[in-house]
């Protein structure tokens, strides 16, 4: 619901679209080789682009109307931007000495730019109420802008009545004493049109750090797509989501790690915002420390077949800490898992949600209870064995350590390495994360407890990617 104060507020909004999905620009005062793209686009740059459009595309506009329009836009607007990822290209530019015989000197130059969805829009929102003549002049100048920033940034600019779609992130000006995320170059009032026509050379010649008529304004970004009120409504819901795998073609259990990696990537892509539950990482990018409460991506074979050649019948996302509504909605949107050229022989597979709820309801075949548990996929110890310990003893020690230290199980009565071709299973993640040289040593294992315990039991290295999964016997 829109509050009455917002309904009465009069704004002027420009919509920016980049059909190539790239915005090439360097922040004022930064060197291009720092590799830092300007984000969000600064209001100062936008006003300069409007003046350039007036001078080159529509010089017949009266200076009075142009001055009235741009004078209203001087200040710190609210900027609504889509999701962005920084990227760059490297160019080796020849120097003047390159023309001399025997001299081939070049200079490395970075072309840094922001990459976004080509169909997404940026909205610049000013608190301004303009006269009809000024609005007409602004509309004509906006339509005449061919690009913003460097010439590679093909841009379509239009004057719109309101912010049509709320972008994921909104940048708003704040007071100097408030927490800030960036300082953005804006025009200050009263604005002189001549200030917008200064070139960087003129600014440096006058020994100024910033152009006259401009100032750095502190801004803070807010996640408008996921406000605290919305987050409160999406409380933890389900602990497990099961996906059915289309029968033709089906990958085999030997590629459980591949299926898990692709499912994890798809879930993070659909979710968009960082998720500690789905990724297993904190917002800082560090791995989560704890008791393995984040998502496990598990491949489940046909119950009547076992071994690396068994087809994967379904996929399971199991999160002991439970999924919130946003995370569950992201998983429900997944339709395809595509490996592309990253894995030869792994088909593109179609999946669909088969069930959700508690894990004992969704995947009872890996819950038990039972006192005997046998490897469904091989167990790979998380630590290397010492020189004076045999491999079976090392496996037994690592299984007991993980059961008692991280998963609140009682000490097992026995842990035995059993026959099974563990080498046929993939034991490393997809490139570029890992390659064949990172393949882990692993074995098939049988665990016996004094009393029946409940699962799921997933232990060892890559246990969140399908390795180290045990199934109950009896």
Residue 5: the pLDDT is 42
414/288 same-domain check: yes
How many domains does the chain contain in total? Answer: 2
DSSP per residue over 132-191, as a string?
HHHHHHHHHHHHT--BSSSTT-B-EEEEESS--S--SEEEEE--TTS--SEEEEEE-SSP
- Do 205 and 239 share a domain, yes or no? no
Sheet containing strand 22-24, strands side by side: 22-24, 106-115, 85-94
Same domain, 164 and 253: no
405 and 436, same domain (yes or no): yes
Distance CA 325, CA 333 (A): 13
Q: Do 176 and 97 fall within a single domain?
A: yes
Mean pLDDT, rounded, of the chain: 85
Q: Last residue of some domain: 223, 240, 255?
A: 223
Range of the domain at 294: 232-472
Q: Tell me, what's the pLDDT at 246?
A: 87
Say what the pTM is.
0.53
364 lies in some domain: yes
Q: Name residue 336's beta-bridge partners.
A: 350
Instruction: Give the CA angle between residues 329, 330, 335 to the nearest 5°.
Output: 110
The band of 443, judged by pLDDT with boundaries at 50, 70 and 90, is very high
First-last CA distance in the chain: 57
Are 333 and 378 within one domain? yes
Same domain for 115 and 92, yes or no, is yes
CATH label of the domain that carries residue 101 = 3.30.70
Does a structural domain hold residue 1?
no
Looking at the predicted structure, is the pLDDT value of residue 347 above 90?
no
pLDDT tier at 18 (50, 70, 90 boundaries)?
A: very high
C-alpha to C-alpha distance for 318 and 465, rounded to whole angstroms:
11
Whether 2 maps to a domain, the answer reads no
Q: Are 251 and 107 part of one and the same domain?
A: no
Domain boundary pick from 169, 201, 223: 223
Mark which of 196, 223, 250 sits at the end of a domain.
223
Over residues 44-59, the pLDDT tens digits come to: 999 999 999 999 999 9
| Alpha-carbon span 60 to 51, nearest angstrom | 13
Residue 2 has pLDDT above 60, yes or no: no
pLDDT in tens, 197-235: 988 888 888 888 889 999 999 998 887 544 433 343 445
């Amino acid at each position: 619901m829109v509050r009455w104060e917002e309904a009465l507020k009069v704004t002027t909004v420009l919509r920016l679209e980049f059909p190539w999905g790239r915005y090439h620009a360097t922040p004022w005062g930064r060197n291009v080789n720092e590799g830092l793209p300007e984000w969000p686009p600064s209001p100062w740059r936008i006003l300069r682009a409007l003046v350039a459009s007036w001078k080159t595309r529509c010089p017949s506009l009266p200076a009075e109307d142009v001055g009235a329009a741009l004078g209203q836009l001087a200040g710190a607007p609210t900027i609504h931007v889509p999701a962005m990822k920084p990227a760059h290209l490297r160019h080796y530019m020849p120097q003047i000495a390159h023309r001399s015989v025997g001299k081939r000197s070049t200079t490395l130059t970075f072309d840094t730019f922001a990459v976004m969805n080509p169909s997404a829009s940026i909205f610049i929102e000013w608190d301004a109420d303009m006269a009809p003549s000024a609005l007409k002049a602004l509309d004509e100048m906006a339509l005449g802008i061919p690009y913003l920033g460097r010439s590679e940034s093909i841009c379509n600019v239009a004057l719109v009545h309101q912010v049509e779609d709320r972008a994921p992130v909104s940048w708003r000006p704040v007071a100097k004493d408030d927490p800030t995320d960036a300082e953005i170059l804006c025009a200050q009032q009263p604005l002189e049109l001549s200030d917008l026509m200064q070139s960087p050379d003129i600014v440096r010649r006058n020994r100024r750090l910033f152009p006259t008529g401009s100032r750095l304004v502190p801004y803070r970004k807010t996640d408008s797509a996921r406000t605290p009120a919305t987050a409160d409504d999406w409380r933890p819901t389900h602990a497990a989501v099961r996906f059915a795998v289309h029968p033709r073609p089906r990958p085999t259990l030997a590629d459980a790690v591949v299926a898990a990696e692709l499912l994890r990537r798809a879930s993070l892509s659909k979710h968009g915002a960082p998720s500690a539950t789905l990724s297993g990482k904190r917002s800082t990018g560090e791995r989560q420390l704890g008791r393995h409460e984040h998502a496990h991506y598990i491949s489940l074979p046909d119950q009547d077949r076992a071994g690396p050649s068994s087809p994967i019948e379904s996929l399971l996302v199991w999160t002991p800490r439970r999924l919130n509504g946003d995370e569950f909605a992201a998983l429900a949107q997944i339709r395809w898992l595509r490996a592309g050229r990253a894995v030869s022989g792994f088909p593109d597979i179609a999946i669909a949600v088969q069930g959700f709820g508690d894990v004992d309801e969704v995947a009872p075949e890996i819950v038990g209870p039972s006192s005997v548990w046998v490897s469904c996929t091989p167990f790979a110890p998380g630590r290397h064995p010492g020189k004076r310990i045999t491999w079976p003893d090392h496996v037994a020690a690592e299984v007991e350590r993980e059961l008692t230290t991280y998963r609140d199980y009682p000490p097992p009565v026995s842990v035995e390495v059993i026959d099974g071709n563990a080498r046929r299973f993939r034991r490393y993640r997809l490139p570029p994360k890992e390659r064949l040289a990172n393949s882990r040593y692993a074995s098939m294992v049988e665990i016996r407890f004094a009393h029946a315990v409940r699962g799921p039991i997933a232990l060892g290295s890559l246990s969140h990617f399908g390795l180290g999964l045990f199934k109950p016997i009896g």
